[in-house]
Amino acid sequence: MQYLVSVIDDKSNPGSTDRQPAISEFNERLIAGGYWVFAGGLADTDSATVIDNRGEQAVFSDGPFVESKEYLAGVWVWEAPDLDVALKLATEASKICDRKIEVRPFR
């Protein structure tokens, strides 16, 4: 089963910025354990563009889709045998990243 693992940061109480060495080490463990599929950090929300092409013409809007103090800072995609394993890894990831983590299975 694959899981989308979202890293959630908070503008009013951001996580530590010195976590990259620990995150890199965690990523190496994910790769060695066969869990790693993909990962990436995201640029700040002010660099986002939202496109809505549900009407007669596309509308492009600068900034995030939703104004919120919490935002998506990065993602992993993990392959894990079950949700319990994914949640155990996510618990570790939250500590290592100093941020909230959301785990969602792919359909």
CATH number for position 25: 3.30.70.1060
Question: What's the pLDDT at 67?
Answer: 73
Q: What is the pLDDT of residue 17?
A: 86
* Low-confidence stretches of the chain (pLDDT beneath 70): 65
Range of the domain at 95: 2-105
Give the pLDDT score at 69. Answer: 87
| Residue 63 pLDDT | 78
Task: Return phi, psi of residue 7, to 5°.
Answer: -95, 120
Q: How many domains does the chain have?
A: 1
Q: Chain centroid to CA 80: how far?
A: 16
Of all residues in the chain, what percent are helix, strand and coil, respectively (each to 5)?
30, 35, 35
Torsion angle of C-alpha atoms 6, 86, 90, 92, degrees rounded to 10:
-150
